[in-house]
């Protein structure tokens, strides 16, 4: 809890990560707006554009997740403290999840304004549920790969190179689950199959991250 509070307070004081993620997503939506040469998009295309934009914006947060610990000796202090080392995994994943929620509070309305054809009103609750499951996947995998990459020289490169392949199943499931919600005459609820895939992915990788994170800190 102390690590989580520290990360949130540090972000509130510096505004280094979340504003960059928001700016990146909005600029990407503008690029898609002109690059696709379409007034509006919907359905599978809309789901893909939204998912990919949020994914790459999240990478900015992933790359900076452990920078303070590396530069200020936080790893050594945490290893010497009489606490369960998995607490850092939970705290960092929770902080990244919070950053993603703030990102989406701004980015999703911007997406609806700049690109989306259908109204976000009716399917909004279903979209929130899909994005919440996707955020869990991004937070868990992002924390895991950030812990691996932070002690390398090319951490800004290593994080995405490791993380993006691991996130492909979650990326596909998120886009497929969001597509009917963003269609012109789509359903108000996400497809159960893809929601189940996302939930299973979250569970499997959360358990995997919990199992290996202790060894990552020692290395």
CB atoms under 10 Å from CB of 46, counted, come to 26
Distance CA 31, CA 142 (A): 25
pLDDT at position 83, please? 62
Q: How many domains does the chain contain in total?
A: 1
pLDDT at position 136, please? 95
Q: Cα dihedral sign for 26, 131, 202, 45? A: negative
Q: Which residue ranges of the chain lie beneath pLDDT 70?
A: 1, 68-85, 186-187, 217-219
Please report where in the chains the tokens 């189940």 appear, as a residue.
196
Burial string for 133-155 (b: 16+ CB within 10 Å, else e) reads: bbbbbbbbbbbbbbbbbbeeeeb
Distance CA 56, CA 58 (A): 5
Domain of 26? Answer: 2-218
Distance CA 115, CA 109 (A): 10
Total-model pTM: 0.89
Q: What is the pLDDT of residues 110-133, one digit of tens each?
A: 998 888 877 777 788 889 999 999
Q: How far is C-alpha 212 from the chain's CA centre?
A: 20
* Mean pLDDT over each residue of the chain, to the nearest integer: 84
pLDDT at position 162, please? 87
pLDDT at position 5, please? 80
Question: How many Cα neighbours within 13 Å face the side chain of 201?
Answer: 26
């Amino acid at each position: 809890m102390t690590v989580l509070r520290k990360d949130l307070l540090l972000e509130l004081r510096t505004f280094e990560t979340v504003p960059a993620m928001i700016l990146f997503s909005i600029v990407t939506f503008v690029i898609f707006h002109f690059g696709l040469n379409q007034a509006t998009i919907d359905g599978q295309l809309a789901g893909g554009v939204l998912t990919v934009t949020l994914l790459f914006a999240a990478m900015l947060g992933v790359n900076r997740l452990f920078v303070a610990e590396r530069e200020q000796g936080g790893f050594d202090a945490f290893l010497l403290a009489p606490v369960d080392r998995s607490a850092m995994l939970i705290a960092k994943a929770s902080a990244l999840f919070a950053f993603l929620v703030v990102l989406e509070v701004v980015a999703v309305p911007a997406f609806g304004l700049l690109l989306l054809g259908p109204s976000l009103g009716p399917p909004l609750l279903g979209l929130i549920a899909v994005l919440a499951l996707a955020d869990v996947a991004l937070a868990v995998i992002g924390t895991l790969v950030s812990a691996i990459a932070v002690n390398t020289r090319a951490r800004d490169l290593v994080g995405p190179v490791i993380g993006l392949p691991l996130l492909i199943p979650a990326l596909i499931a998120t886009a497929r689950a969001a597509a009917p919600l963003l269609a012109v005459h789509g359903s108000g609820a996400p497809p159960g199959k893809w929601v189940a895939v996302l939930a299973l992915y979250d569970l499997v990788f959360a358990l995997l991250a919990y199992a290996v994170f202790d060894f990552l800190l020692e290395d």
